[in-house]
Amino acid sequence: MKKDGQHYSLSGRLALAFLAVAAIVFALMGAFLYTSLSSELQRRDDIEIDGKLSQFLQLIHSAGTVSGVRDASNVFHEILLSHPGVYLTVLDRAGALLVQHPETSGGNLLSAYEPRRLQRLPYTCLPKSIGSARCIFSSETLPSGETVRILLARSASDRESLLASYRLDVWAAAAIGSALVGLLGYLVARRGLTPVKSIGRQASRIEANNLSERLNIERGPAELNDIALSVNRMLDRLERAFVRLSQFSSDLAHDMRTPLANVISSSQITLSKTRSVEEYEAVLDSNIEECERLQRMIGNMLFLARTDNAKQAITMVDVDIASELRRLASYFDGLAEERGTLLRVHGDGTIRADTTMFRRAVSNLVSNALDHAAPGSTIELRGSEGRGYTAVSVTNEGVEIPASDVEKIFDRFYRLDPARHESGKNAGLGLAIVKSIMELHRGKIDVQSAAGRTTFVLYFPTSDSAATNEAITV
């Protein structure tokens, strides 16, 4: 087991894996070769004793009688002199010994005789004073009518000695071969993992100030291509995020510095000499307005931070679009009347959404439309259902959004009209909040601006199917 904080070598593990696999393969090959050799040596012993049995049966038959067999014992001995390790016993019908080779008592094969065995079929036996051997026997009826039984055995001592030596050679070869394969496997793995180390060195050089650098694996293995591509895509996202964060920090500092500077400067000027109560009240009202602007900005920033970190809890319920749009329209009627515009609600439908967030998203769009709508125009709030989605749109008449700014208007602190930059109401976060709300609902926001009309559309998916995702891709 690997303890916490400790690391292991991939090259070492691969080398051990090569070693284990090689050991298993060599062991299996050695076992196969050992078994094959053992079977071949046994087959040769069987051929030898079977051939001798046939030869001796012919000699016995030529002898004609039992006494003739006994008298021809020297012939049997002479034949077996050139076959060391072969033992012979010839018995008559009564079991009396006729011929025995060698003539010592240890050469008697009676203990190896197994009547249940088939004749002329070699089998493994264990004669006394001989040990493990291969035996064969047969009965023969002589021309005289007498019956004799011949037993032959081939000692396995020399075969076992050869196999024991071969077994040691096989184990030695397997051990040496496994060690060599393990060593070569380590060298191959170490060289093969060189591109991994190269990627590590490249990644270690990438810092916040050079996020444009990418991993280069043009000559690397195909197996690392997906990893490198994923890392490069991650670096692309990080680079874009850092650029946005840098711009966001700069914009945030500027937007927070302005109201703070206003509060400080107005307070310092007021305190520079004695003022009337009315003047103090005017300064306090101005400071409160700037503080409220800061409070709204901080609240919006906290909301965006929660949505970015996926910690914003949402409660999904069925929302009636027509009812909510009429409610929001009545809320903005007074402000619309001041601006000389009219709010109209069309369509119906139901969506699954968080009610509070839905109201906030649409309110931001309506407030934005009121700021940019032409006097005397109509702002339309519409709900409609499509295949796999439900759309909620807010349309106003007025100055069109330049095509170059369409992709930027959802960035934080981005403003189309520089003249509104110092407005205490417009902090450039409204559309960014709407985009974050739609991302929490797995939907999207789209904008179309042409022919003096600007329409923001919120697409709420009705399911999580792939068809729905394709349907709201506009």
pLDDT per residue, tens digit, the chain (474 aa), is: 455 556 667 778 888 888 889 889 989 999 999 999 999 999 999 999 999 999 999 999 888 898 898 888 888 888 888 888 899 999 988 888 888 888 776 667 888 888 888 899 999 998 888 888 999 999 988 988 899 999 999 999 888 999 999 999 999 998 998 889 888 888 887 877 777 777 777 777 777 667 677 777 666 666 677 777 888 788 887 777 777 666 666 656 666 676 787 788 888 888 888 888 888 888 888 888 778 777 776 776 666 666 665 545 678 889 998 899 999 888 888 888 888 899 999 888 888 888 888 888 898 899 888 888 888 899 999 998 888 888 999 999 988 888 777 777 777 666 665 544 444 455 567 788 888 888 888 888 898 888 889 999 999 988 654 334 443 443
CATH number corresponding to 313-471: 3.30.565.10
CATH architecture of the domain covering 10-163: 2-Layer Sandwich (3.30)
Strands (DSSP E) contained in 309-376 are 317-320, 342-347, 350-353
Q: Domain map of the chain by residue range?
A: 10-163, 222-306, 313-471
Q: Of all helices (H) and strands (E), which one includes residue 90?
A: strand 86-92
Q: Residue 102: is the preceding peptide bond cis (ω within 30°)?
A: yes
Instruction: Match 């049966």 to its residue by tokens.
Output: 57
Q: Which residue, 315, 245, 259, 336, is CA-closest to 291? A: 259
Q: Which residue has the tokens 């008298």?
A: 71
CATH number among 1.10.10, 1.10.3470, 1.10.287, 3.40.1800, domain 222-306: 1.10.287
65-79 per-residue burial string, b: 16 or more CB within 10 A, e: under 16: ebebbbebbeebeeb
Rounded Cα gap, residues 304 and 241, in angstroms: 15
* Domains 10-163 and 313-471 fall in the same CATH topology: no
Q: What SS3 class is residue 276? A: coil
Placement of tokens 């139901």 in the chain = 350
Strand pairing partners for 395? Answer: 380, 455
